[in-house]
Structure 1
């Protein structure tokens, strides 16, 4: 039986390069037999955070927020595609993430970062690690980092050049780490209710 993995991507730019990495991760996890869905923050279109999902009276949250809350609750694990903006995290993905809290609890998350430059989004990945931990997720230690993204992945998300070859070599460990924690968390949730 496959596990349900949500891959979150958050760029709102017109010429979005990170979608290449999102597609690579989706394809890679599907190739391992997982049930994977890409959640594109721009397509979901949540407003700037005013009220969190839990702050709406039951049944009155906007339809897109209600749907996404259910998708998050039904997922076994998450991958965050972390673009780096000015040494920080993307506002679109952060805004989407902040609309929820308890929905994230007791599941693992992995971070795949990217940038147009040689640091490959490492600073954004570091910032996301603390943010996701604070939101109740177990952040796995394995990461992948892509940069310069245009020289590593084609427009279709296929590895190219030396960077693409390195990414292909790194992906199995990244996926193995995430899926080990997915299995561990599922097993523990089945044995006993979370403490809160």
Structure 2
């Protein structure tokens, strides 16, 4: 059974990330490569700024919120990060959520759905690759980059994707599934808490 978790990185009130994530979630369910697709909203996870006294590599979490987050991440075979670009980078809430854990991320592919203005979140996507590869995650080449994202939000608050976005998303989901399967033996060898 393959599990895809789509993480909504932005926690800002009125964020565009939620409709973007709802769109990629519906597309992933329809795509049917993964047995389970789950939206994970960092606004609901509500992790405080890192407050664990032990290094995440040790897996000795003392707070319930960290234990819950560990379980959520550990269950996944692959991820999609739906992420904004803030000031040429990705947002602090996503970095904090990543930094809480260590082995739970290992040998899992990650697809990036970035959005923003003219650069479509591509600078944030480039920056996060350094972080995820340090955790032995595999950022895939196939990605969705949405420029001037608000133009794709309709009056009901839903994202209306164009053909380029849909084609890019389908290619990303194909590759995520392919790598999730290929990396399964390596994930099986990782011992988490």
Tell me the TM-score range normalised by the shorter chain: 0.7 to 0.9
Q: Does 1:14 align with 2:13?
A: yes
Shift of residue 56, structure 1, vs aligned partner: 7.2
CA distance in 2, matches of 1:56, 1:182: 23
What SS does structure 2 have at the residue aligned with 1:88?
A: coil
Q: What's 2:105 paired with?
A: 104
1:45-103 deviation line (CA, Å, top 9, x unaligned): 11101325566746x322x3212211211111111112100111111111111111111
Unaligned runs of 5+ in 1: none
What SS does structure 1 have at the residue aligned with 2:128?
A: helix
Q: What's 1:168 paired with?
A: 166
Unaligned runs of 5+ in 2: none
TM-score by length of 2: 0.87
Shift of residue 153, structure 1, vs aligned partner: 4.0
Q: What's 2:144 paired with?
A: 144
RMSD: 2.2
CA contact 2:31–2:170 (8 Å) conserved in 1: no
Count the aligned residue pairs. 186
CA distance in 2, matches of 1:134, 1:78: 16
CA distance in 2, matches of 1:49, 1:131: 16
TM-score by length of 1: 0.86
CA contact 2:115–2:146 (8 Å) conserved in 1: yes
